[in-house]
Amino acid sequence: MDEKRERMLKSTITQSNINTFAVSPCFSKEKASLVRPFVELILQKRVSGIITDFRSHKRGNDYSKMTEFVAQNSLGRNRYKDVGCLDNNRVILQMGPVAYIHANYVSTPNNSKKFICTQGPMDSTCADFWYMILQENVNAILMLCNYIETGATKCAQYIPIEVGQSLKFGNDQEITVTAKLIETYKFPFKTNVRIQITVCEIQLGSRTHTCAQYHWLNWPDRGVPEADMVPIHLLKQLENEANGTPIVVHCSAGIGRSGTIILLQVALEIIRIGQRLNPLDHYMTIIRQQRNNSVQTEHQYLYVHQVLLFYFKQKGYLDPAILSRLEQFKKDYLKVTTGF
């Protein structure tokens, strides 16, 4: 591993094509006025209205737009046969024995290839996953599932779990992944979220590359974590880590938890560039045109709203007169998402 890169990574850990989205910058002092109409609409709709909005966007697979996915279904490279991969912006592998991987580029307002959204690697696709990491010069991976959840395999072990351990994948083009550093991420605030960082060296022939995986250990499948500053802080950390290269994000299918994080990032970028924030189903529709069926559940969709409300309150963007309504929304949100 390059020593300068290793020192930079360790310091960071211990310190805590055409873009689909149009950009029109304005001054940051206007942000409060730009988010307040969005917040007012949320509070008017209430939790029940936001759920209704989400349910109005039906999920499905148009297999005429997923021809390579269909062709690969019998070849063992798709984790779920009902979770399609769109042809229009899928990642095409230039190395390894096959060109196909269940992965799509997803744009945000600031970057036409901000994310690569992919399924959790399978035993038969771990090598392909690492070929993609090398091909795209990926510096940061976000893993949002665990290897086994509720007794079911959600992801193959594609990364070493002990420092110094190496895993080898592929046959003709063998790729070696070695863990150089494993640490728990230290947030600058109190949270129940646990994230482990593994810094790996990837070697293919004479080429070596260093990459950091951020593993969110306790995000429940089809559930949601506490709606605090964690995802916003983490996304900023990943942006810094990525340094302009695509951030690879995956859960098991690569659409639910992964799509949720991407939707939040899109909303944050809209605010940063000074645009008025539209209802989130507008952005969800755009994301789904790139990664089919992104954001799987109404709880995940609600979670993005609640995180944004928490963030706006923390930033002082909101009129104090609405705080009681904000608290009622939070109570309704918790009742729906946790039952309490």
Q: 3-state DSSP helix/strand/coil percent for the chain, to nearest 5?
A: 40, 20, 40
Using an 8 Å Cβ cutoff, are 116 and 69 in contact?
no
Using an 8 Å Cβ cutoff, are 303 and 51 in contact?
no
Question: Which of 117, 126, 145, 251 is an active site residue?
Answer: 251
Instruction: Provide the phi-psi class of 162: left if phi over 0, else alpha when psi is between -120 and 50, else beta.
Output: beta
Residue 174, amino acid: E
Write out the DSSP string of 159-228. S-SSTT-EEEE-STT-EEEEEEEEEE---SS--S--EEEEEEEEEETTEEEEEEEEEETT--TTS----S
Q: Distance (Å, rounded) from C-alpha 232 to C-alpha 311?
A: 8
145 part of the active site:
no
Sole residue written with tokens 């737009």: 65
Using an 8 Å Cβ cutoff, are 232 and 264 in contact?
yes
Using an 8 Å Cβ cutoff, are 252 and 154 in contact?
yes
Q: Looking at residue 142, what DSSP letter applies?
A: E
3-state secondary structure at position 32: helix
Give catalytic residues, as residue numbers.
251
